[in-house]
Amino acid sequence: MKGGGGTPVSNDLRLVYFATSNKHKFDEAKDILADYGIDLKMVREKTEEIQDDDLRTIAVHALSKALEKDERPTMIEDAGLFVKMLNGFPGPYSSYVHRVLGVDGILRLMNHEENRDAEFRSVVAFGNSPSIIETFQGVVKGTISLQPKGRSGFGFDPIFIPKGSKKTFAEMSLEEKNHFSHRADALRKFAKWYTSL
């Protein structure tokens, strides 16, 4: 369908609100979901993030709080870096650890460590009302680099090398990162489900 000035109108795109203050996450998600005809709108409100050992619990809690305010198709994503030799640390505490220790702090904790296996995990939670929430999980396995490399992305991107690549996430374009990432994995699962409804 065309608008007045020949501009395409987005009636055929399904609008989904993404509650996040992280513009990098939003850009990654928008790029993926566009492939499925889903139009994403960023809602920059502060989400309520509880501390819990489980990403899913954190995402579901934050989403139900957002939906209590506005009952509309809304998505929240929670992610974390799980380092094998640190028994999964920082995991659900990644945001706090990134703020306090940063990328260099993780590298110091892994000094001289040969086993550098790690994975990023993502949980996308979606719902229209607090009583009906669906979740989708994504994962990417990889290794922690010996030193930070690259300037793109955010968080631990400069020290994470996904399996199948020689580059860190921070050395990749958004499209390359979306080829590998935990977030892309969870978002594609969500999009397949959503567009099949």
Footprint of ligand IMP on residues 29-68 (CB under 6 A)?
Answer: none
Instruction: Compute the distance between CA of residue 169 and CA of residue 149 in angstroms, rounded to an integer.
Output: 9
Instruction: Compute the distance between CA of residue 187 and CA of residue 176 in angstroms, rounded to an integer.
Output: 15
Check residue 186 for interaction with ligand IMP (CB under 6 A): no
Check residue 162 for interaction with ligand IMP (CB under 6 A): no
In the complex, the smallest distance separating the C-beta of residue 21 from ligand IMP, rounded to whole angstroms, is 9
Q: Give catalytic status of residue 104 as yes or no.
A: no
Contact 97, 90 (CB under 8 A): yes
Q: Closest residue to ligand IMP, Cβ-based?
A: 155
Instruction: Compute the distance between CA of residue 74 and CA of residue 18 in angstroms, rounded to an integer.
Output: 6
Instruction: Compute the distance between CA of residue 54 and CA of residue 128 in angstroms, rounded to an integer.
Output: 22
CB half-sphere exposure, 84, CA atoms < 13 A:
12
Check residue 119 for interaction with ligand IMP (CB under 6 A): no
Footprint of ligand IMP on residues 64-93 (CB under 6 A)?
Answer: 78-81
Pick from 127, 138, 142, 155 the residue near ligand IMP by CB under 6 A: 155
Pick from 95, 137, 152, 165 the residue near ligand IMP by CB under 6 A: 95
Check residue 154 for interaction with ligand IMP (CB under 6 A): yes
Cα distances (angstroms) measured from residue 110 to each of 86, 163, 169: 8, 19, 19
Contact 103, 147 (CB under 8 A): no
In the complex, the smallest distance separating the C-beta of residue 67 from ligand IMP, rounded to whole angstroms, is 18
Using CB under 6 A as the binding criterion, the count of chain residues that bind ligand IMP stands at 17
Q: Where on the chain is the footprint of ligand IMP (CB under 6 A)?
A: 22, 78-81, 94-95, 98, 120, 153-157, 169, 181, 183
Catalytic residues: 78
